[in-house]
Amino acid sequence: MTPGARIQAAIDLLDRIDAGEPAEKALTGWGRRSRFAGSGDRAAVRDHVFQALRCYRSYACLGGAQTGRGRMIGALRATGLDPAEVFTGAGHAPALLTDTELSAGTAPVGADACDLNDWVLEEFRTSLGEGAEAAALALRTRAPVMLRVDLRRGTRDDAIGLLAEDDISASTHPIATTALCVTKGARRLARSRAFLNGMVELQDGSGQAAMQAINLDGGRSILDFCAGGGGKALALAARSDARIYAHDVDPSRMQDIPTRAARAGVQIEQIATSALPRKAPFDIVLCDAPCSGSGTWRRAPEAKWRLTRERLTALTQLQSQILAEAAALVAPGGQLVYSTCSLLSTENEDRIDAFLNAKSEWKLVHAQRFDVTDGGDGFFMAQMTRA
Ligand SMILES: C[S@@+](CC[C@H](N)C(=O)[O-])C[C@H]1O[C@@H](n2cnc3c(N)ncnc32)[C@H](O)[C@@H]1O
d(CA 13, CA 27): 7
Output the pLDDT for position 335. 96
Protein residue whose Cα sits closest to atom 26 of ligand 1: 228
Distance 322 CA to ligand 1 centre (A): 10
Counting ligand 1 atoms within 8 A of each CB, the residue from 248, 274, 296, 351 with the most, and so the one to mutate, is 248
**Domains of the chain, each with CATH number or no CATH:** 3-108 (no CATH), 145-202 (3.30.70.1170), 215-386 (3.40.50.150)
Query: Residue range 63-73: average pLDDT?
Result: 97
pLDDT tens across 209-239, in order? 999 999 999 899 999 999 999 999 999 999 9
Output the pLDDT for position 315. 98
Ordered alpha helix ranges (H), 150-270: 156-165, 193-196, 205-213, 231-237, 257-264
From the CA of 227, give the closest atom in ligand 1.
6
From the CA of 248, give the closest atom in ligand 1.
22
From the CA of 232, give the closest atom in ligand 1.
8
Question: Is the predicted pLDDT of residue 79 greater than 90, yes or no?
Answer: yes
Q: Helix crossing, 39-54 with 56-63: angle to 10°?
A: 90
Output the pLDDT for position 387. 79
Protein residue whose Cα sits closest to atom 20 of ligand 1: 249
pLDDT tens across 289-328, in order? 999 999 999 999 999 999 999 999 999 999 999 999 999 9
Distance 230 CA to ligand 1 centre (A): 10
Query: Residue range 25-50: average pLDDT?
Result: 95
Q: What are phi and psi of 202, to 5 degrees?
A: -70, 120
Output the pLDDT for position 304. 96
Protein residue whose Cα sits closest to atom 3 of ligand 1: 228
Question: Is the predicted pLDDT of residue 30 greater than 90, yes or no?
Answer: yes
Protein residue whose Cα sits closest to atom 13 of ligand 1: 226
d(CA 39, CA 47): 12
Query: Residue range 101-121: average pLDDT?
Result: 97
pLDDT tens across 164-198, in order? 999 999 999 999 999 999 999 999 999 999 999 99
Mean pLDDT over each residue of the chain, to the nearest integer: 97
Protein residue whose Cα sits closest to atom 10 of ligand 1: 290
Residue 268: strand pairing partners? 244
3-class secondary-structure state, position 337: strand
Output the pLDDT for position 310. 98
Output the pLDDT for position 218. 86
pLDDT band at 340 (very low <50, low <70, confident <90, very high): very high
Question: Is the predicted pLDDT of residue 54 greater than 90, yes or no?
Answer: yes
Query: Residue range 239-243: average pLDDT?
Result: 94
Output the pLDDT for position 202. 97
Protein residue whose Cα sits closest to atom 4 of ligand 1: 228
Distance 239 CA to ligand 1 centre (A): 22
From the CA of 341, give the closest atom in ligand 1.
1
Q: Which residues line ligand 1 (CB under 6 A)?
A: 225-229, 231-232, 248-250, 253, 288, 290, 322
